[in-house]
Amino acid sequence: MAQQQGLPKTAQKVNLIAIQSLNSYVDGATTLEKGGTYPFSSYESGLMDIEFVMSFRKTGTKSANPTTSRRKVELQVPPPTMDPKRVTPHVQRQVVKLLRMADLPVPLLDYDEEGEEAAEAQRQMTDPNRQGGISEAYMGNQVLRQQQSSRKTAWDRSRDRFHARLNWKKYDQIYKQALHDAQAHQMTKDMIRNNPRARRLLLSKILSNIQFTDNVIPLERLVAYRRLLRLIDENFDELSIEDFGKYWEELSIVITEARPYNTSSSAMKKRRRRNLETGYSFTIHHDDSVTVTVPVDFQNDELVQELQRNVGDFYQWTLQDNSVESIFE
């Protein structure tokens, strides 16, 4: 998995721009939340691109040198009609998406339930629009709450808050879905892998999504098609083609011109040691579609490594909507 490493000045400049763009995004959301002038008018598409450079390292072998590639994440800016109360959750989700794609830790959001209850009680008591003063039901509820809390330890209260936050309906839904998926996976395991016709259909679907930039000549396109077909077929298991079939069927692969530097094995080895970019780029769009940019003179081992890494990180992002964390409210 990706790790942040020391990067050359060119990469540091790209990442500095990314940080500035992210700060602008957060500041604009804060302004919108406070009811200020809409700060994202210049983004007609409703998207803000955050592009950064990452360095990756694997350990265990002498040849495991660091590689560096670009990633771009499209963040959706809050629309001008969004309720100010919904701005923060929207921004949090977008930032979490960015952090996961950058392989950075995602901080847990602190939630002080007791503080929220006290604040709500204070709002009820000081609300000028409230009729009839403090109700007997409210006072009775407060007395009962104090009696119960006085008999419980801090651990008991923490446990109660934990259970209160659980969305049991979603928990049951995720559990049943996970069980169903496991059973389906066991029944259909290797059905595409071991079926020549189904395997060819899946490979042809993947290749149909390949695009070329204008500066890639026809001969290079033909060679790239044949190389990619063979590479994906030979690394069918390593790339989890069947397990992540939907991802591969929808993946867009853009082939760009050859790199303007020496791409021999020895030259690329030195380039990786210096943490210089290797010409690959991974973009996750606002609708969770994916585009991978690959130079036409790609090397098989580096492309397989890049694709494996991208599949893993993308899976971790999309998993969050149905992960264990999602059952907490």
pLDDT in tens, 215-232: 999 999 999 999 999 999
Report the pLDDT value the prediction gives residue 194, as an integer from 0 to 100: 87
More confident residue, 268 or 231: 231
Q: What is the mean pLDDT of residues 104-111?
A: 63
Neighbour order of strands in the sheet with 277-284: 47-56, 67-76, 277-284, 290-295, 252-256, 210-212
Comparing CA positions, the residue from 28, 33, 31, 23 lying closest to residue 77 is: 28
Contact between residue 299 and residue 263 where contact means Cβ atoms under 8 Å apart: yes
Whether the pLDDT of residue 212 is over 90: the answer is yes
Q: What is the mean pLDDT of residues 254-283?
A: 75
- Gyration radius of the chain's alpha carbons: 26
Residue 235 dihedral angles phi and psi, to the nearest 5°: -110, 35
Q: What is the mean pLDDT of residues 209-220?
A: 94
Query: How many whole angstroms from its chain centre is CA 258?
Result: 29
Strand partners for 67: 56
Q: What percent of the chain has pLDDT over 90?
A: 21
pLDDT in tens, 39-98: 888 888 889 999 988 776 544 445 544 567 788 999 999 998 888 888 888 888 888 888
Residue 329: CB atoms within 10 A of its CB come to: 9
Report the pLDDT value the prediction gives residue 46, as an integer from 0 to 100: 87
Lowest mean pLDDT among 1-10, 74-83, 156-165, 288-297: 1-10
How far apart (Å, rounded) are the C-alpha atoms in residues 205 and 248?
Answer: 8
pLDDT in tens, 273-326: 665 667 888 898 888 888 999 999 898 988 898 888 888 777 766 655 545 455
Q: What percent of the chain has pLDDT over 70?
A: 71
Task: Specify the amino acid at residue 126.
Answer: T
Whether the pLDDT of residue 148 is over 70: the answer is no
Report the pLDDT value the prediction gives residue 269, as an integer from 0 to 100: 65
3-state SS class at 8: coil
Enumerate the domain spans of the chain.
Answer: 9-105, 180-321
Q: Residue 42 is encoded by which pair of tokens?
A: 């210049």
Model confidence, pTM: 0.65
Q: Residue 170 is encoded by which pair of tokens?
A: 């979603």
Report the pLDDT value the prediction gives residue 139, as an integer from 0 to 100: 56
Query: How many whole angstroms from its chain centre is CA 172?
Result: 25
The overall longest dimension of the chain from CA atoms, in Å, is 84
More confident residue, 212 or 190: 212
How far apart (Å, rounded) are the C-alpha atoms in residues 299 and 71?
Answer: 19
Comparing CA positions, the residue from 51, 56, 43 lying closest to residue 21 is: 51
Q: Residue 234 is encoded by which pair of tokens?
A: 């030979």
Report the pLDDT value the prediction gives residue 136, as an integer from 0 to 100: 57
Residues 6+ apart with CB under 8 A from 168: 327
Report the pLDDT value the prediction gives residue 108, as an integer from 0 to 100: 61
Report the pLDDT value the prediction gives residue 231, as an integer from 0 to 100: 94
